[in-house]
Chain A
Amino acid sequence: DVKVTQSSRYLVKRTGEKVFLECVQDMDHENMFWYRQDPGLGLRLIYFSYDVKMKEKGDIPEGYSVSREKKERFSLILESASTNQTSMYLCASSPSGRVTADTQYFGPGTRLTVL
């Protein structure tokens, strides 16, 4: 079974802190994604990566950055956390979507609260 793990289930940070959310997948997937999930807004894509050291902005990249130094690991960084970044963050991975449809495999999520 594909396994996607996230470093924390719950996280509480202060405004202005630098926050790192880590995601690791064990199925050698090329693609990795970071979403935030808010009630009534569904999932919104922050960033995605379809290769090591490659990244593309999603729909809401402002205030976030990412790092993918190894194929299995994709980190989301909040450079200076703000209260409006309080949310559930979901990581996902998928095999290459260049030829066929790719199913996304999700991690358990990190519920981040910024005080």
Chain B
Amino acid sequence: AQTVTQSQPEMSVQEAETVTLSCTYDTSESDYYLFWYKQPPSRQMILVIRQEAYKQQNATENRFSVNFQKAAKSFSLKISDSQLGDAAMYFCAYRSPFTSGTYKYIFGTGTRLKVLA
């Protein structure tokens, strides 16, 4: 069965510094998708970044980038130049390929990021 593990329940970063959130997953599939979602306090969850497993190049979105290590089944999120608005719960998620008429979407347990002024 596929699993997603976020081993850091909470992390802190100084404003303007860089922080990396870890995520590992387990799957026997070769073609899948990985996501990082952000849930700010009392606000809706939104997509931060996504990665297709068949792409070797790491995805980037402005200050957010990932380090995708397929062999190691690792998918970490790097936030550069951290801002107060980055404070949130971050969830790593895995989506399986669409087979047999369905697919699975699995979330990790989340990492709460605090940004210190």
Instruction: Determine which residue in B44, B46, B109 has the highest number of CB atoms from chain A within 10 A of its CB, and name it.
Output: B44
Name the distance in Å between B33's Cβ and chain A's nearest Cβ.
Answer: 4
Asked if residues A108 and B110 are in contact (CB atoms below 8 Å), the reply is: no
Any A CB within 8 A of the CB of B62: no
Name the distance in Å between A40's Cβ and chain B's nearest Cβ.
Answer: 6
Asked if residues B109 and A42 are in contact (CB atoms below 8 Å), the reply is: yes
What number of B residues sit within 8 Å (CB to CB) of A?
A: 24
In the assembled complex, the Cα of A103 lies from the Cα of B49 at a distance in Å of 9
Asked if residues A43 and B107 are in contact (CB atoms below 8 Å), the reply is: yes
Any B CB within 8 A of the CB of A33: yes
In the assembled complex, the Cα of A4 lies from the Cα of B35 at a distance in Å of 19
Main secondary structure of the interface of B (DSSP, over half): strand
Of chain B, the residue at the smallest CB distance from A99 is B98
Of chain B, the residue at the smallest CB distance from A101 is B33
Scan A27-60; emit 1 where CB is below 8 A from any B CB, else 0. 0000001010000111111001010000010000
- Report if A41-B109 is in contact (Cβ < 8 Å); known contacts: A98-B98, A101-B95: yes
In the assembled complex, the Cα of A111 lies from the Cα of B50 at a distance in Å of 28
Any B CB within 8 A of the CB of A104: yes
**Known A101-B95, A106-B45; further 10 A-B contacts with Cβ < 8 A:** A42-B107, A43-B91, A43-B107, A56-B102, A99-B98, A103-B47, A103-B50, A104-B35, A104-B105, A107-B44
Which 9 pairs across A and B sit closest by C-beta, in order of nearness?
Answer: A101-B33, A42-B109, A43-B107, A106-B45, A42-B107, A103-B47, A98-B98, A108-B44, A106-B44
Interface residues, chain A, CB within 8 Å of chain B?
Answer: 4, 33, 35, 40-45, 48, 50, 56, 90, 92, 97-99, 101-104, 106-109
28 contacts between A and B (CB under 8 A): A33-B105, A35-B107, A40-B9, A40-B109, A42-B6, A42-B107, A42-B109, A42-B110, A43-B91, A48-B105, A56-B102, A92-B45, A98-B98, A101-B50, A101-B52, A101-B95, A103-B35, A104-B37, A104-B47, A104-B93, A104-B105, A106-B37, A106-B45, A106-B46, A107-B44, A108-B43, A108-B44, A109-B44
